[in-house]
């Protein structure tokens, strides 16, 4: 692992992560079972809705990456002989369905060693506590999300604070720095800081290859500028500038296979079922354009209306 860090604090953190992910001998992880396409599964690919908890069959995504989410919420497994990586969990009541998807491709929950997260809302994070408990995995989050992940309760920095449900508090959290590279065996996954929809938002990008053909995968965080009735993106402490920067960042990220937290945001299930192209190197740009348009509309509405309460 290359270390190019300035402060001792960062060095300490990086060392801890390097130790956590890189220094264990291969033999210690020799028992990790790699996934395989399910030959026989009772899970159907059919989705009657885009409900967050409606189960659907697991799909092979690309290389060592697999879709194990529900009809409405994406959950990604990056298989690795040194310990699997899970991105997000779906809501709490999707835990059984997502676990079933993982089992259907032969993944044992205790082979998951790392859980990465997009943002601290119950629809994406509600099952993380259960997966962490079942696996003992380390959960990596940006600093801004730590308190909410630890307590399961958002605070007023979150645009949706007044309408959010709580989720089960998550244990074994480790803070990562913005843009940090997470290394597990031969896999390197880079954090993309994406505050704006929620304060602690993250996207993730990594490369997968099949038969010498490599593609850059991106799991983008949500770009939706939605809120409760009180919050103003343009108000004091509002996240308009942060969201604008996140939109620009994701739009500029090399991106060939896009996954979004809500399946409809990237039509990931249709693309995995070959109803649309899986690979599109303009997908992140297009996502950013939609996000920016929505933010501009939102700011225009705020400019036309008075704050509900003084902040
Ligand atoms: Zn959200």
Q: What is the pLDDT of residues 238-249, one digit of tens each?
A: 999 999 999 999
Distance 151 CA to ligand 1 centre (A): 17
Rounded to the nearest whole angstrom, what is the distance from the C-alpha of residue 70 to the centroid of ligand 1? 16
Q: Rounded to the nearest whole angstrom, what is the distance from the C-alpha of residue 291 to the centroid of ligand 1?
A: 14
CA–centroid distance, 75 to ligand 1, in Å, is 14
Ligand 1 centre distance from Cα of residue 197 (Å): 6
**Rg (the chain; Cα; Å):** 19
Residue 6: the pLDDT is 42
Centre of ligand 1 from the C-alpha of residue 4, in Å: 33
Q: How far is the CA of 223 from the centre of ligand 1 (A)?
A: 9
Residue 134 CB partners (closer than 8 Å, separation 6+): 99, 109, 110
pLDDT, tens digit, 9 for 90 and up, residues 170-191 = 999 999 999 999 999 999 999 9
pTM: 0.89
The whole-number pLDDT of residue 15 equals 41
Q: Which residues of 276-302 are buried (b: 16+ CB within 10 A; e: fewer)?
A: eebebeebbeebbeebbebbeebbeeb
**C-alpha of residue 80 to centroid of ligand 1, in Å:** 28
Between CA 101 and CA 108, with CA 102 as vertex, the angle to 5 degrees is 150
Structural domains in the chain, CATH included, are 50-304 (3.60.15.10)
Gap from CA of 227 to ligand 1 centroid (Å): 10
Compute, in angstroms, the gap from residue 35 CA to the centroid of ligand 1. Answer: 29
How close is the Cα of 124 to the center of ligand 1, in Å?
A: 7
Contacts of 260 (CB under 8 A, 6+ apart): 74, 219, 220, 222, 266, 268, 287
Mean pLDDT per 10-residue segment, the chain (311 residues): 41 43 43 83 87 96 98 98 98 97 95 98 98 98 97 96 97 97 96 98 98 98 96 95 98 98 98 97 98 98 77 44
**In this predicted structure, what is the pLDDT of residue 37?**
83
Give the separation between CA 189 and CA 304, rounded to whole angstroms. 42
- pLDDT value for 268: 98
Q: How far is the CA of 198 from the centre of ligand 1 (A)?
A: 7
For residues 85 and 34, give the distance between their C-alpha atoms in angstroms, rounded to a whole number: 12
Q: What is the pLDDT of residue 306?
A: 75
* Cα 262 to averaged position of ligand 1 atoms, centre (Å): 9
């Amino acid at each position: 692992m290359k270390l190019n860090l300035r402060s001792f604090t960062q060095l300490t953190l990086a060392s801890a992560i390097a130790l956590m992910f890189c220094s264990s001998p291969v033999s210690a992880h020799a028992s990790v079972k790699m996934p395989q396409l399910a030959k026989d599964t009772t899970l159907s690919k059919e989705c009657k809705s885009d409900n967050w908890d409606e189960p659907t069959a697991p799909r092979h995504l690309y290389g060592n990456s697999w879709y194990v989410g529900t009809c409405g919420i994406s959950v990604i497994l990056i298989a690795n002989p040194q310990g699997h990586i899970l991105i997000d969990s779906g809501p709490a009541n999707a835990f059984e369905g997502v676990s079933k998807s993982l089992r259907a491709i032969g993944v044992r929950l205790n082979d998951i060693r790392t859980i990465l997260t997009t943002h601290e809302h119950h629809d994406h994070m509600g099952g993380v506590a259960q997966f962490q408990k079942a696996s003992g995995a380390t959960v990596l989050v940006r600093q801004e999300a730590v308190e909410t992940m630890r307590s399961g309760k958002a605070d007023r920095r979150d645009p949706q604070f007044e309408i959010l449900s709580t989720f089960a508090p998550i244990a074994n959290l480790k803070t990562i720095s913005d843009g940090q590279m997470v290394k597990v065996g031969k896999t390197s996954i880079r954090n993309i800081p994406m505050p704006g929809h929620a304060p602690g938002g993250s996207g993730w990008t990594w490369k997968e290859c099949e038969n010498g053909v490599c593609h850059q995968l991106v799991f983008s965080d949500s770009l939706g500028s939605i809120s409760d009735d009180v919050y103003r993106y343009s108000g004091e402490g509002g996240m308009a500038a942060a969201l604008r920067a996140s939109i620009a960042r994701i739009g500029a990220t090399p991106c060939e296979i896009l996954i979004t937290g809500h399946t409809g945001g990237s039509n990931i299930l249709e693309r995995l079922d070959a109803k649309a192209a899986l690979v599109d190197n303009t997908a992140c740009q297009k996502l950013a354009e939609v996000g920016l348009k929505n933010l501009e509309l939102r700011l225009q509405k705020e400019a036309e209306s008075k704050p509900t309460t003084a902040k």
